[in-house]
Amino acid sequence: MTRTGAWLPDLRRSIDNLLMHKLRSLLTMLGMIFGVGAVLSMLSIGAGAQQQVMAFIEDLGVHNLIVEAREAPDRNTWAKTRQQSPGLTFRDVRVMESTVPGIDSLSPRKRFIPSKLVPKPQGDAPVVYGVGANYLAIGGIRLTSGRFFSENEAAGAEPVCVLGDAARTALFGLDDPIGRFVKVNEQWFRVIGTAGPQAVAQSDVAGIPAQDRNNLVYVPTGAAMFRLEDNYSAIRDEIDGVYVRVKPDVDVTTAAATVRGILAASHRGADDYALVVPAELLAEQQRTKRIFDIVMVALASISLLVGGIGIMNIMLASVLERTPEIGLRRAIGARKTDVIRQFVIETTLIAVIGGILGLALGAAMSRLIASFAGWSTIVTPGSLLLSFSVSVLIGLVFGVYPAVKAASLDPVQALHYE
């Protein structure tokens, strides 16, 4: 008999046996179904959460360095800090420009929260970012219409602005804002461009405050500083952020070390700023994701382990139940490998069918979690393959012992077993 000819009868026999005991087969599969569903849903939750953070970090730019000022919460704290450090200033910017190796471009930032906006925004009021003209490249901003302000407009502190995706919708709805005006406090700014959507983090990331990067109004730094009123300017740094972009062939870690040295010297060790290196954050998030996936799979695999024990228990009971059948097969010439093959096929069928149903359950659970909890979940091909593979592997491992036990039965004793 050919190899295929040996497998097909055992496959049909295994299917018939499973269908003969439908309820028992289903109950045996439940452990695998819930185990695979738990593994897949946990991986999808982890993948969704990590994707948001990693997309945000990638949008920050892997060739960028970001300095964020830590603003004083009150005047007393500010006065105490200023005895040690002058805060983040344009002097820091000039020293970075002349010292940091391989700088491609650099932009200071001055952030304002407007007290009055016209048109009146629908929802949260946009935040004003005063930045340089080169921020378009540094920030990876993708314009959907119009243009960004030029170097000449930035140098002249011209009253022009570019709207973020959410800011455009909040201020003008579906209307085209290009050429129209936005009144920030008491100053009118002409809209010259709109930006596309950017990734957003739901919480602070390594010193970068959680903020909707789509709900921004970009204006030249000079226009923000000289044209806008700010009631809190007395206790704020001269600037509150610096974006540094290094050339692709420059080691970001080396550039970051230089920036740290500059700020440590000028701020005299005061902890009033944070240096964010997106490339380092991205690498750390990738390591964290791998560890998270391993832990989640290990925890969820406990359910699969219970399912595997259930398979072994049922198959051992099946061996006892079918002892006369096994003895008859051995008596008419079946080899030990034939008996082992039949039982392994049955356990594989249970694991495969349970795994497929578990994948369906896990995908459904991921959708429900995303709908009701508001979490982002992603079912990836890798998580599907991993969940299914672990299911089949556990099914095979726990099915081998009952199969070997069945094949080890003495044919004569098996025929007389009652």
Quick one: which of 193, 291, 244 has its CA closest to 68? 244
Tell me how crowded residue 387 is: count the other CB atoms within 10 A of its CB: 28
SS3 293: helix
pLDDT of residue 407: 63
Q: Which residues contact 236 (CB under 8 A, 6 or more apart)?
A: 69, 71, 72, 87, 230
Average of pLDDT values for 317-346?
70
206/86 same-domain check: yes
120/198 same-domain check: yes
* Domain presence at residue 296: yes
298/329 same-domain check: yes
* Domain presence at residue 276: no
Per-position DSSP letters for 166-208, written without gaps between them = HHHHHHHTTS--TT-EEEETTEEEEEEEEEPP----SS-BTTB
344/236 same-domain check: no
87/232 same-domain check: yes
pLDDT of residue 316: 73
In the listed set 249, 271, 293, which residue is the last one of a domain according to the structure?
Answer: 271
Identify the helix (H) or strand (E) that includes residue 136: helix 135-138
| Whole-number Cα distances in Å, 114 to 127, 202, 232, 233 | 7, 22, 11, 13
135 contacts 153 by C-beta, under 8 angstroms: no
pLDDT over threshold 60, residue 203: no
User: Which of 38-52, 187-201, 322-336 comes out lowest in average pLDDT?
Assistant: 322-336
Which of the two residues, 12 and 329, has the higher pLDDT score? 12
Instruction: Give the tens place of pLDDT for each residue, 136-189.
Output: 888 888 999 999 999 999 999 999 999 999 999 999 988 999 999 999 988 999
- Cα 379 to the center of its chain, rounded Å: 12
Q: What range does the domain containing 333 cover?
A: 3-56+284-415
pLDDT over threshold 80, residue 128: yes
Q: Which residues contact 34 (CB under 8 A, 6 or more apart)?
A: 303, 307, 358, 361
140/262 same-domain check: yes
pLDDT of residue 9: 72
Q: Which residues contact 240 (CB under 8 A, 6 or more apart)?
A: 68, 69, 71, 88, 109, 110, 111
* Domain presence at residue 66: no
* Domain presence at residue 277: no
Quick one: which of 96, 97, 105, 103 has its CA closest to 266? 96
Per DSSP, 144 falls in state E
pLDDT of residue 1: 45
pLDDT over threshold 90, residue 131: yes
pLDDT of residue 2: 41
Average of pLDDT values for 50-71?
74
358 contacts 32 by C-beta, under 8 angstroms: yes
323/263 same-domain check: no
Domains: count for the chain: 2
136/232 same-domain check: yes
* Domain presence at residue 62: no
User: What is the pTM assigned to this prediction?
Assistant: 0.64
Instruction: Give the tens place of pLDDT for each residue, 85-104.
Output: 888 888 988 999 888 888 88
46/76 same-domain check: no
292 contacts 301 by C-beta, under 8 angstroms: no
* Domain presence at residue 323: yes
Radius of gyration of the chain measured on its C-alpha atoms: 33
pLDDT of residue 132: 92
360/239 same-domain check: no
pLDDT of residue 284: 72
Average of pLDDT values for 335-353?
77
Average of pLDDT values for 336-365?
81
235/353 same-domain check: no
* Domain presence at residue 399: yes
In the listed set 207, 236, 271, which residue is the last one of a domain according to the structure?
Answer: 271
In the listed set 244, 271, 298, which residue is the last one of a domain according to the structure?
Answer: 271
pLDDT of residue 362: 85
54 contacts 217 by C-beta, under 8 angstroms: no
Average of pLDDT values for 190-210?
72
- Angle (CA) 345-348-349 rounded to 5° is 85
Average of pLDDT values for 270-293?
76
* Domain presence at residue 350: yes
Q: Are strands 103-112 and 241-246 parallel, antiparallel or unpaired?
A: antiparallel
298/180 same-domain check: no
